[in-house]
């Protein structure tokens, strides 16, 4: 996972205050009554997928190690928390280092309702502190990756450029670009994502550049195009819809010649315009010039353009807002205390409490049939006729981050393979049930007996 | 505006790469053909409000000065952009300092379709570079502030706590907490917002703390409550819905006495439960104990609880996702080049291009009747019988940030006044038109003649 090396953590801002006050007051109360050091197990999971979605994509896991490495209470952080915590808690925080174990689903793994995508084990105090930061990263990045994966499926192999930074918080935008690339987008406009995560960059020109070439004599689109081609070469993409598109295409080929790399259409009925522009380009001899479309695209409008001569999509707002589902809604729940499974409203009854592990079962063809959860420490359920793949990998052991974690490129490749493994209806854009069921194999009988996980 | 002092900018990360690659390629092309230094004017506005919303709240303006101060291309940033820019552009960026003028609507000001909430003037190159960063901040923070203001109206004076950090990107969460406070929330759970923006903090305990007090002998809610009260005092708020709420309330009063500060209900039918719990508390003698409710609240469910004995609301997901409108959809458009108004598809025609100023007209009673835009450099339109208030204030002059900008507290007070000034239907939660019309006073005749601004 492409993270900044741990030794640089000290130079960079602490993440320790990117958390909720109540986690610290809980630590204070638990330190006072002696329960702070009880061995605990927390899990991150989503109770349900966003309305009608058939799968979720685990995003953000590659950002967790860096965020954890920077989770330190230095003097500036202690000054804030000492306003409401007692001295003993402040001293405890000063020495705080997470020393437990964390397992995770790989970034790019699919998840379904109940999938235990993160399993955190240690003392109560050290585990509870991580709740908000871990959820912020996973909820945001998974929401974006999940939406982006649907767009990539809809684009059916055409080039996808992420360009939504302006519609998202400036730091969220960087993570959006990363999640889009994870999901199969080819490039981003966001330069910080290029620097921080190695995502390929892309970008050419906007309406402002064409409008800039206005004088008292009027607009001069061709002058703008000539300036862009002179600076960026004929391989550039010219934006042809500032004034009249037909004239814009004519001006573009006049400025760049028939070797022009591409034209972009950012408004109007993109399907109709793409056909018109393709015909016009072909007549002008620019048969190799690509057509890029953008402008409020989402997975549905991308799919609707499949039959049109579109070579590339630029996607903004719908990507960075999760296309209707801007957060994944994952929760971080205490599931086991001192070996005893716990769960809200049903502690000590048969329970989905307890530390869990997960396998995904597939046919020999590779098609996934179901996900099975089972209690950690019990044997994995018998897969019968199916192939079983363990889904949790070690992320942290004894406070140390594993050193063989997947890179962003690995995760991108994993997701591409995972999407192929879904039953065919799993990739449908229409609303529906999760593509595969998640089942709970009771500890006593490690076979598939539980009802569905949905709540 | 509560920003970090400019002299500290050098210590902190550059914001220069929180931008789109095409802004830099445009600068390169404009430097090459000599148009980079043309005097230009850009404006930020929203073409429309989110579906059915009646007003927008300007958020994020107080974060712009700090972001601008950090917009510098140092060696690490130049290394990235030199991969795709020519040497002349890289050298130009090395020396880059914004030297122009910026006017803005105050943070906490209301906006409507077409309101020119930011006016940026300088050379093309220096203005175009700021597009993405400025939009990211304003689109995000305005979306959150706009949703939050509706929630505050719905709560009708009851205490509001923002607790959505876990459902948002970790840095977005900080800005969400700030925007919620701007809009009238009383406190946040987010500690970084406490540190960075001085927002009051709040927080007590979660289900995990109650579940922690489970042993082989079973759950022990009262032990958890006693531990919390011992550490945090009887004024704390106890979470009573982990197991059975009636037993939870009994345990809470047993642990804290009738002086218990509050109880929190986080699930179930909150209206029904609030009434039951109020009755039970009163019977137990805890007549002063407050009831806090949380759990997937939005402005509609908050309003639906108005008749119930609820003292305080905790709001999470719907706040940080803008309650259905996670971005404000504002754009940053070139409107004037060398004194000539420009606009996409209609440059040089009668145009809403051109640098604009804005006044809001009110009756003597204080009720706003409309917003009027007019060309900068022309006289303000005659307000007739109404009071007129200029909406744009200087934010930057000659590259220097104004030193008398409103603080976050000032902006919070401004918004509270602004909401009172809307026509009564403007605060309705139901879908509708913008609360007041925005009109364009043509330059030639500075009176209200334009049709509505909607597109």
DSSP state letters, B186-223: -EESBHHHHHHH-PPB-----HHHHHHTEETTEE-HHH
Contact A119, A104 (CB under 8 A): yes
CB atoms within 10 A of CB A245: 19
Place of tokens 């309003």: B303
Contact A206, B26 (CB under 8 A): yes
Strand duo B159-162 + B312-315: pairing: parallel
- Residue B331's pLDDT is what? 97
Residues A82 and B14: their CA atoms lie apart, in Å, by 30
Adjacent-strand bridge partners of B414: none
Token pair of B173 as six digits: 């969460």
Strand duo B118-123 + B39-46: pairing: antiparallel
Nearest-CA distance B212 → chain A (Å): 6
Nearest-CA distance B377 → chain A (Å): 19
Fold match, A6-144+325-353+392-415 / A152-323: no
Name residues 179-238 of chain A within 8 A of B (Cβ). 189-192, 194-195, 201-209, 211-216, 218-219, 223, 226-228, 230-232
Across the A/B interface, how many CB contacts are shorter than 8 Å?
A: 334
Residues B398 and B402: their CA atoms lie apart, in Å, by 10
Start-end of H helices in B156-188: 170-182
Adjacent-strand bridge partners of B265: B293
Nearest-CA distance A418 → chain B (Å): 25
- Residue B11's pLDDT is what? 64
Taking only the tens of pLDDT, chain B with its 455 residues reads 333 343 344 568 999 999 999 999 999 999 999 999 999 999 999 999 999 999 999 999 999 999 999 999 999 999 999 999 999 999 999 999 999 999 999 999 999 999 999 999 999 999 999 999 999 999 999 999 999 999 999 999 999 999 999 999 999 999 999 999 999 999 999 999 999 999 999 998 899 999 999 988 899 999 999 999 999 999 999 999 999 999 999 999 999 999 999 999 999 999 999 999 999 999 999 999 999 999 999 999 999 999 999 999 999 999 999 999 999 999 999 999 999 999 887 544 445 789 999 999 999 999 999 999 999 999 999 999 999 999 999 999 999 999 999 999 999 999 999 999 999 999 999 999 999 999 998 654 333 222 323 22
Question: CA B33, B34, B39 angle in degrees (round to 5)?
Answer: 135
Nearest-CA distance B30 → chain A (Å): 7
CA distances (Å), A241 to each of A218, B20, B311, in order? Answer: 17, 20, 54
- Residue B345's pLDDT is what? 77
Q: What is the pLDDT of residues A201-224, one digit of tens each?
A: 999 889 999 999 998 889 999 999
Burial of A377 (0-12, 13-18, 19+ CB in 10 A): exposed
Any B CB within 8 A of A294 CB: no
Q: Which residues neighbour B299 within 8 Å (Cβ) at sequence distance 6 or greater?
A: B147, B150, B151, B153, B154, B318, B323, B429
Strand duo A218-219 + A214-215: pairing: antiparallel
Contact B118, A147 (CB under 8 A): no
- The residue of chain A nearest to residue B323, with distances taken between CA atoms, is A326
Residues B42 and B116: their CA atoms lie apart, in Å, by 10
Question: CA B138, B141, B146 angle in degrees (round to 5)?
Answer: 110
DSSP 8-state secondary structure symbol assigned to residue B243: S
Residues A368 and A384: their CA atoms lie apart, in Å, by 14
Architecture of domain B6-144+326-441: Alpha-Beta Barrel (3.20)
Contact A215 B175 (CB under 8 A): no
Residues B179 and B139: their CA atoms lie apart, in Å, by 12
By Cβ distance, the residue of B81, B167, B334 closest to A211 is B334
Q: Contacts of residue B21 in chain A, CB cutoff 8 Å?
A: 189-191, 194, 201-203
Token pair of B87 as six digits: 């040497």
Burial of B349 (0-12, 13-18, 19+ CB in 10 A): exposed
- Residue B204's pLDDT is what? 83
DSSP secondary structure string, B6-58? GGGGGGS---TTSSBHHHHHHHHHHHHHTGGGSEEEEEEEESS-STT-S-EE-
By Cβ distance, the residue of B25, B35, B322 closest to A203 is B25
Q: Which residues neighbour B444 within 8 Å (Cβ) at sequence distance 6 or greater?
A: none
Contact B152, B177 (CB under 8 A): no
- The residue of chain B nearest to residue A231, with distances taken between CA atoms, is B29
Contact A140 B242 (CB under 8 A): no
Nearest-CA distance A360 → chain B (Å): 27
DSSP 8-state secondary structure symbol assigned to residue A7: G
Q: Which residues neighbour A135 within 8 Å (Cβ) at sequence distance 6 or greater?
A: A44, A330, A331, A332, B166, B167
- The residue of chain B nearest to residue A30, with distances taken between CA atoms, is B227
Calculate mean pLDDT across residues A226-242.
97
Residue B389: HSE in the Cβ half-sphere, 13 Å Cα cutoff:
17
Residues A417 and A371: their CA atoms lie apart, in Å, by 17
Nearest-CA distance A167 → chain B (Å): 6
Contact B21 A213 (CB under 8 A): no
**A32-36, A438-442, B291-295, range with the lowest pLDDT:** A438-442
Adjacent-strand bridge partners of A45: A331
Residues B152 and A230: their CA atoms lie apart, in Å, by 54
By Cβ distance, the residue of B190, B218, B320 closest to A348 is B218
Question: CA A154, A158, A160 angle in degrees (round to 5)?
Answer: 85
Q: What is the pLDDT of residues A301-357, one digit of tens each?
A: 999 999 999 999 999 999 999 999 999 999 999 999 999 999 887 544 445 789 999
Residues A181 and A412: their CA atoms lie apart, in Å, by 7
Contact B214 A344 (CB under 8 A): no
Q: Contacts of residue A84 in chain B, CB cutoff 8 Å?
A: 201
Contact A26 B211 (CB under 8 A): no
Q: What CATH code is assigned to A152-323?
A: 3.20.20.70
- Residue B369's pLDDT is what? 96
The model's confidence at residue A12, banded by pLDDT at 50, 70 and 90, is: confident
Token pair of B28 as six digits: 């390169």
Q: Contacts of residue B242 in chain A, CB cutoff 8 Å?
A: 344-345
Any A CB within 8 A of B2 CB: no
Residues A273 and B33: their CA atoms lie apart, in Å, by 30
Quick one: which of A390, A354, A393, A355 has its CA closest to A372? Answer: A390
By Cβ distance, the residue of A17, A30, A327 closest to B191 is A17
In the predicted model, what is the mean pLDDT of chain A? 93
Name residues 34-93 of chain A within 8 A of B (Cβ). 35, 38, 40, 42, 67, 76-77, 80-81, 83-84, 86
pLDDT(A78) > 60: yes
pLDDT(A116) > 60: yes
Residues A38 and A36: their CA atoms lie apart, in Å, by 6
Contact A171 B172 (CB under 8 A): yes
In terms of phi and psi (left: phi > 0; alpha: psi -120 to 50; beta: otherwise), the region of B367 is beta
Question: Regarding the domain with residue range B155-324, which homologous superfamily does it belong to in the CATH classification?
Answer: Aldolase class I (3.20.20.70)
- Residue B351's pLDDT is what? 52
Residues A158 and A148: their CA atoms lie apart, in Å, by 14
- Residue B185's pLDDT is what? 98
Q: Domain ranges for chain A, please list them.
A: 6-144+325-353+392-415, 152-323
DSSP SS3 for B431: coil
Any B CB within 8 A of A246 CB: no
Fold of A6-144+325-353+392-415: nicotinate phosphoribosyltransferase (3.20.140)
The three-state DSSP-derived secondary structure of B316-339 is: CHHHHCHHHCCCCCEEEEEEEECC
- Residue A443's pLDDT is what? 52
CA distances (Å), B296 to each of A146, A329, B270, in order? Answer: 22, 11, 11
Adjacent-strand bridge partners of B41: B121, B336
By Cβ distance, the residue of B18, B84, B348 closest to A201 is B84
Q: Which residues neighbour A77 within 8 Å (Cβ) at sequence distance 6 or greater?
A: A14, A16, A17, A93, B195
CB atoms within 10 A of CB A131: 25
Residues A117 and A173: their CA atoms lie apart, in Å, by 24
- The residue of chain B nearest to residue A172, with distances taken between CA atoms, is B169
**A165-169, A373-377, B3-7, B448-452, range with the lowest pLDDT:** B448-452
DSSP SS3 for B331: strand
CA distances (Å), A140 to each of A50, A186, B175, in order? Answer: 13, 20, 15
- Residue B449's pLDDT is what? 27
The model's confidence at residue A446, banded by pLDDT at 50, 70 and 90, is: very low
């Amino acid at each position: 996972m492409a993270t900044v090396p741990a030794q640089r953590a000290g130079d960079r801002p602490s993440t320790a205050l990117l958390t909720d006050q109540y986690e610290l007051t809980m630590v204070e109360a638990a330190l006072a009554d002696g329960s702070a050091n009880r061995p605990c197990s927390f899990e991150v999971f989503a109770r349900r997928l966003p309305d009608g979605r058939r799968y979720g994509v685990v995003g953000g896991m590659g950002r967790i190690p860096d965020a954890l490495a920077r989770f330190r209470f230095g003097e500036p952080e202690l000054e804030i928390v000492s306003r409401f915590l007692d001295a003993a808690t402040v001293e405890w925080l000063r020495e705080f280092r997470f020393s437990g174990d964390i397992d995770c689903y790989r970034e790019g793994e699919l998840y379904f309702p109940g999938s235990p995508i993160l399993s955190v084990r240690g003392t109560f105090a050290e585990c509870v502190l991580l709740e908000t930061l871990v959820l912020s990263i996973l909820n945001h990045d998974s929401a974006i990756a999940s939406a982006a994966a649907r767009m990539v499926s809809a684009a059916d192999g055409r080039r996808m450029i992420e360009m939504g930074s302006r519609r998202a918080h400036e730091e969220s935008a960087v993570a959006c670009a990363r999640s889009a690339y994870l999901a199969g987008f080819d490039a981003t406009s966001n330069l910080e994502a290029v620097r921080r995560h190695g995502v390929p960059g892309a970008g050419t020109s906007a309406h402002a550049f064409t409008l800039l070439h206005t004088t008292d004599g009027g607009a001069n689109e061709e002058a703008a195009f000539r300036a862009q081609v002179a600076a960026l070469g004929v391989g550039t993409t010219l934006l042809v819809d500032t004034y009249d598109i037909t004239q814009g295409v004519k001006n573009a080929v006049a400025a760049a010649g028939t070797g022009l790399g591409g034209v972009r259409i950012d408004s109007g009925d993109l399907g109709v315009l793409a056909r018109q522009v393709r015909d016009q380009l072909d007549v002008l001899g620019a048969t190799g010039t690509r057509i890029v479309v953008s402008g409020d695209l989402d997975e549905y409008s991308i799919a609707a353009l499949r039959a049109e001569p579109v070579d590339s999509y630029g996607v903004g707002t719908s990507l960075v807002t999760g296309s209707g589902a801007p957060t994944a809604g994952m929760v971080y729940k205490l599931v086991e205390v001192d070996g005893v499974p716990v769960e809200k409203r049903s502690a000590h009854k048969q329970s989905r409490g307890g530390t869990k592990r997960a396998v995904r079962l597939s046919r020999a063809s590779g098609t996934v049939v179901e996900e099975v959860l089972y209690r950690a420490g019990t044997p994995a359920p018998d897969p019968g006729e199916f192939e079983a793949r363990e889904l949790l990998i070690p992320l942290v052991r004894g406070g140390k981050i594993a050193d063989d974690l997947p890179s962003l490129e690995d995760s991108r490749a994993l997701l591409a393979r995972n999407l192929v493994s879904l039953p065919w209806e799993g990739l449908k854009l229409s609303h529906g049930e999760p593509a595969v069921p998640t089942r709970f194999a009771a500890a006593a009988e490690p076979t598939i007996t539980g009802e569905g996980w949905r709540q």
